[in-house]
Amino acid sequence: MKAPRTKSASRIFGTASLLFALLMTSEASAQYVIPSANWNGPENNFPLNWSYDSQTTINSENVGQLQVKWTFPVPSAPQGQFSTAEGAMVTPLIYEGVVYSVTNWHRVYALNLENGNVVWSVDLPLMDNYSRYLQPSVPGPLGVPLGHYHAIFLTTELWREPLIWLVSNTYQVFALKATTGDVLLNFNPFVSDRYTGIAGNYGLYDEDTPNILIDQRNGVLMFSPSVTEGDSAGRGFLEGWDVTSPKPQFLWRTYLIPPQDGSAPNWSLDSVMNMSHAYIFDGQAAVDLKSLPHDQLSQMLVGDWGNFGFNKTHSFAGASAAWGGSWAIDEHAKVAYIGTNVPGPVWNATYRRGPDLWTASVLALNLTTGSLIWGFQTMPHSLGDFDCSWNVMLANQTIGGQTTPVVYKGCKSGYVFALDASTGRMLWYLRPPAVKYQAVTFLNPLNSTQMDKYNWYGYPSTKPIVQNPGDTGALESDLAFDPAKNTVFAATYNDPKRFMYSDVGPPKTPENLTTWEFSWGVQILKIHPAGISNTTVYAIDAADGKIRWNFTIPNSEYRGGLTVSGGVVYVSTLDGTMRMLDESNGRVLSTRSMGGSLLIQPSIGDDANGAKALVLTDMGSTRWGPPFPGFIQALAVPETPQGAVAIGQLLLATQVVALVAIACAVILAVARIRSTRRRY
């Protein structure tokens, strides 16, 4: 009897390996990435701030099926508040099935993500005497706090329970118990600082955009006051506070600009000498300040800022740290990465000669001591609204075969930068090709005439001038980053405006005798549109800064941020439209009109039953459209009909069954081979 032929073990294993490879490279392999149920910071992924979620339940295949899960109408602001205080304009947090948000009139809401019901709400107990030390930042009476929140934060490691953190316009730092809303912390780091406590300050602080950052692993809270962008601006600084207990303890204070009386002409030079690395970007390359001859560096930086126009009682130039989304933290290295604001007055540098360090910059500082590690100024001697507000992202890249932490930062000049997180060295920059720069140029920090004599665009003419970017810059939003695709996403825009010159310094003319910010160097109330606005969304290779695709939105500026998740880029525009783009090519997957104004990006998370939802806020504000209270809304894809199986689940189940079948086949085949060899 002829023996049956048997397949060799190598052929069987080869076939099994091929089947395994085909299965594992299918779309379903994405299921093996464990998604998060929470949105844990203003841009998620806190403190890295990528505005990204690895979930795949809501994806490029089904995003067009999103339906309203629930809508929570935000109540109108109480009487006595400004109309600009309507609604909510922060990206909602999501934690363990609960959505957290704060209205611009200072009420914190916790909503059940399953049905939108209120779990709890708390009206923040604001100080009533803040107007004694804070300047209004919009026209109006003293004593009425403007509502203008950019971010709320979540910690889970401090005080052994989840906490919701925020800083109010009155500079009060609150920590609320996430489960009940109980106020566990209410302290004002600024009260003890004001007046004589702030060395070298001869300007004012305003109530617009104070900022905080929380390093929960090391128990440090960093606080920054807000200053106007006019000639009343105070001396910006950062403070560190130990928050390992509900009784904060002061740690350090670091100033961001020199004393405002001109008493420290070497301040900028000393700042650079005390850093490990320092750079100034000139529009095409980064000038390495540490490599310059000492004489040249001294000529550039000694006397930077001049004497601020100091007249024995007041200064007429200043700056602070920036605002917007989150700054980033390397919790292991205990290093924070922040952005800074533009120098004020924004459009007139009469009283601020030099590059004005460290404005419009990205800085790295030690969270334990407050010492500055490196600085990268993105625009020297800025003459427009080109600060580095909004989020700072921190991610890893492979450079020269080594894993290297990289800081990604977009600034309102429209430029996007990638910087080595260890040194601040520029790896690449992107000048967005769709932004049509008009009467706006980068000045040369090595040119003393430009640094000391060029006081506004078009100088010395005082005739009206059209500028683009306009009065809000060209990038007014958070970036996003997908680590799986190694792609950075940014939204830049054109919004040309017509400006009219204004004096700065001690009041001389009616246009800088306002009730709020003195003068910004232009006649603020006479800024008018002077061209067509449009927005361009870019997908950028995070490794080299090259553009992968772009998508243009006509007749609209952009404000807020982008979210990327499930192969979809969510683009929330001011006309109330949510555009959902294919992450791979920028193609429009779906468009949804929300009916209001979308001022911020959405968040994504799970309700208590594990159902995934997209959560967004919709409102109106005076600056970006007619004010109205708006709403918070959750969207979800329809549930799978009873007895049916979702495609993703089916693919995953198929993989598992196939892998088990392959394994069984291999085992049986090997056993048969061995048996055959024994018998024959």
Interatomic CA distance for residues 278 and 291, integer angstroms: 9
**How much is the pTM?**
0.89
Reading the block at residue 548, the tokens are 């992968």
Interatomic CA distance for residues 211 and 203, integer angstroms: 19
Q: Let me know: does 351 contact 319? Beta carbons within 8 Å.
A: no
Residue 467: its H or E element: strand 465-467
pLDDT for the residue numbered 78: 85
Q: Name the percent of the chain lying above pLDDT 70.
A: 82
Query: Hunting for tokens 């922060």 — which residue is that?
Result: 90
User: 569 falls in which pLDDT band (50, 70, 90)?
Assistant: very high
Task: Mean pLDDT check: name the lowest of 189-203, 231-245, 354-368.
Answer: 189-203
pLDDT for the residue numbered 628: 82
Taking residues 580-600, what's their average pLDDT?
94
248 and 392 belong to one structural domain? yes
569 and 655 belong to one structural domain? no
Of residues 259 and 195, more confidence is placed in 259
By C-alpha distance, which of 539, 541, 543 is closest to 397? 543
Interatomic CA distance for residues 281 and 75, integer angstroms: 46
pLDDT higher than threshold 90 for residue 674:
no
Sequence-distant (≥ 6) Cβ neighbours of residue 49 within 8 angstroms: 41, 42, 43, 325, 326, 327, 328, 391, 392, 393, 394, 478
By C-alpha distance, which of 306, 311, 322, 344 is closest to 512? 344
pLDDT for the residue numbered 145: 58
pLDDT higher than threshold 80 for residue 502:
yes
Of residues 642 and 515, more confidence is placed in 515
Taking residues 549-563, what's their average pLDDT?
96
Query: How many angstroms separate the Cα of 56 from the Cα of each of 275, 384, 613, 653?
Result: 43, 41, 11, 16
Query: Hunting for tokens 């979620």 — which residue is that?
Result: 53
Q: Let me know: does 631 contact 71? Beta carbons within 8 Å.
A: yes
User: 639 falls in which pLDDT band (50, 70, 90)?
Assistant: confident
DSSP category for residue 2: P
Alpha helices in 246-302 (DSSP H): 267-274, 294-301
pLDDT higher than threshold 60 for residue 32:
no
Q: What is the pLDDT of residues 106-127, one digit of tens each?
A: 999 999 999 999 999 999 998 8
213 and 148 belong to one structural domain? yes
Sequence-distant (≥ 6) Cβ neighbours of residue 121 within 8 angstroms: 107, 108, 109, 110, 181
pLDDT higher than threshold 50 for residue 468:
yes
Taking residues 195-211, what's their average pLDDT?
85
Interatomic CA distance for residues 21 and 13, integer angstroms: 12
Q: Let me know: does 310 contact 338? Beta carbons within 8 Å.
A: no
49 and 121 belong to one structural domain? yes
19 and 47 belong to one structural domain? no
Taking residues 285-290, what's their average pLDDT?
98
Q: What is the pLDDT of residues 178-190, one digit of tens each?
A: 999 999 999 999 8
pLDDT for the residue numbered 591: 97
Query: How many angstroms separate the Cα of 354 from the Cα of each of 36, 125, 171, 379?
Result: 47, 43, 31, 12
The domain tally of the chain equals 2
Q: Which amino acid is located at 445 in the chain? A: P
pLDDT higher than threshold 50 for residue 206:
yes
- For the chain, the C-alpha Rg in angstroms (whole number) is 27
Laid out side by side, the sheet with 497-499 consists of 465-467, 497-499, 528-529
Interatomic CA distance for residues 236 and 323, integer angstroms: 12
Q: What is the pLDDT of residues 509-543, one digit of tens each?
A: 554 444 445 688 998 888 999 999 999 999 999 99
User: 26 falls in which pLDDT band (50, 70, 90)?
Assistant: very low
Of residues 59 and 87, more confidence is placed in 59
Interatomic CA distance for residues 159 and 244, integer angstroms: 7
10 and 42 belong to one structural domain? no
Q: How many residues are listed for the chain in this entry?
A: 680
pLDDT for the residue numbered 449: 96
- Count the helices and strands in the chain (H runs, E runs): 5, 39
180 and 265 belong to one structural domain? yes
Task: Mean pLDDT check: name the lowest of 315-324, 391-400, 671-680.
Answer: 671-680
Q: Which CATH number characterizes residue 181's domain?
A: 2.140.10.10
Reading the block at residue 515, the tokens are 């009730």
Range of the domain at 26: 1-32+648-680
Query: Hunting for tokens 């799986």 — which residue is that?
Result: 484
577 and 598 belong to one structural domain? yes
330: left (phi over 0), alpha (psi -120 to 50) or beta: beta
Across the chain, what does the average pLDDT equal? Answer: 86
Q: Let me know: does 204 contact 236? Beta carbons within 8 Å.
A: no
4 and 141 belong to one structural domain? no
pLDDT for the residue numbered 190: 85
Taking residues 94-101, what's their average pLDDT?
98
pLDDT for the residue numbered 676: 38
pLDDT for the residue numbered 342: 97
Q: What is the largest CA-CA distance in the chain?
A: 115
Q: Which amino acid is located at 195 in the chain? A: Y
Q: What is the pLDDT of residues 123-178, one digit of tens each?
A: 999 887 776 667 766 544 455 556 788 999 999 999 999 999 999 988 999 999 99
User: 23 falls in which pLDDT band (50, 70, 90)?
Assistant: very low
14 and 50 belong to one structural domain? no
By C-alpha distance, which of 361, 358, 362, 476 is closest to 412? 476
pLDDT for the residue numbered 138: 54
Of residues 590 and 84, more confidence is placed in 590
Taking residues 337-364, what's their average pLDDT?
97
User: 401 falls in which pLDDT band (50, 70, 90)?
Assistant: confident
User: 84 falls in which pLDDT band (50, 70, 90)?
Assistant: low
pLDDT higher than threshold 50 for residue 2:
no
Residue 215: its H or E element: strand 206-215
Interatomic CA distance for residues 33 and 30, integer angstroms: 6
User: 196 falls in which pLDDT band (50, 70, 90)?
Assistant: low
13 and 75 belong to one structural domain? no
DSSP category for residue 179: T
pLDDT for the residue numbered 506: 79
15 and 65 belong to one structural domain? no
- The separation between the first and the last C-alpha atoms of the chain, rounded to the nearest angstrom, is 11
pLDDT for the residue numbered 146: 66
Sequence-distant (≥ 6) Cβ neighbours of residue 14 within 8 angstroms: none
pLDDT for the residue numbered 645: 43
